[in-house]
C-alpha cells in the first residue's frame, strides 16, 4: 500500500518494465491507501503487502470484473522475487490442471458414447 497515487504508479511502472512479453497493463486503485497490480488478459501480478520484501504473486481469473473477477488459480500463498517466475509457474499449473482434466472428460465421453 502506498500513501500517494503517484508512488503506486511509479512502482507499477517499474514492475511493467521488468515483465517479459507484450500487452501488460497497469491498474492502480484506492482502498485505504493506493495499490497497484499489472495484468495481461486474465493474468494478474500483485506485489505482496509486506513492503520490506520485493515479492510477487499471481492470480488467474475470468477477467469479467475490474479486479480479476473469478479467480481460478492463486498459487496458495506462494510468492516470487521475479514476477516473470510467478507468471510462468501460474501458467504451468493451469496447463497441468487442464491437461489432467481434459483426460477425465475424454474418458467420460468415451464411456458414455453410444457407438
Task: Encode the chain (115 residues) as per-residue pLDDT tens digits.
Answer: 788 999 999 999 999 999 999 999 999 999 999 999 999 988 889 998 766 678 998 888 776 655 545 566 666 678 889 999 999 998 888 888 888 888 888 888 888 886 5
Give the closest residue to 25 by CA, choosing from 8, 11, 13.
13
- Per the structure, the complete domain to which residue 98 belongs is given by 5-112
Number of domains in the chain: 1
Q: What pLDDT sits at residue 104?
A: 87
What distance in Å separates the CA atoms of residue 47 and residue 113, rounded to the nearest whole number? 48
Amino acid at each position: 500500500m502506498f500513501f500517494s497515487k503517484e508512488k503506486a504508479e511509479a512502482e507499477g511502472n517499474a514492475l511493467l518494465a521488468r515483465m517479459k512479453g507484450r500487452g501488460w497493463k497497469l491498474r492502480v486503485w484506492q482502498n485505504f491507501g493506493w495499490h497497484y497490480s499489472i495484468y495481461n488478459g486474465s493474468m494478474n501480478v500483485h506485489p505482496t503487502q509486506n513492503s520490506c520484501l520485493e515479492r510477487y504473486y499471481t492470480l488467474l481469473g475470468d477477467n469479467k470484473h475490474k479486479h480479476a473477477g473469478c479467480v481460478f488459480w492463486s498459487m496458495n500463498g506462494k510468492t516470487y522475487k521475479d514476477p516473470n517466475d510467478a507468471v510462468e509457474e501460474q501458467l504451468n499449473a493451469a496447463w497441468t490442471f487442464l491437461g489432467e482434466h481434459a483426460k477425465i472428460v475424454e474418458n467420460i465421453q468415451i464411456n458414455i458414447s453410444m457407438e
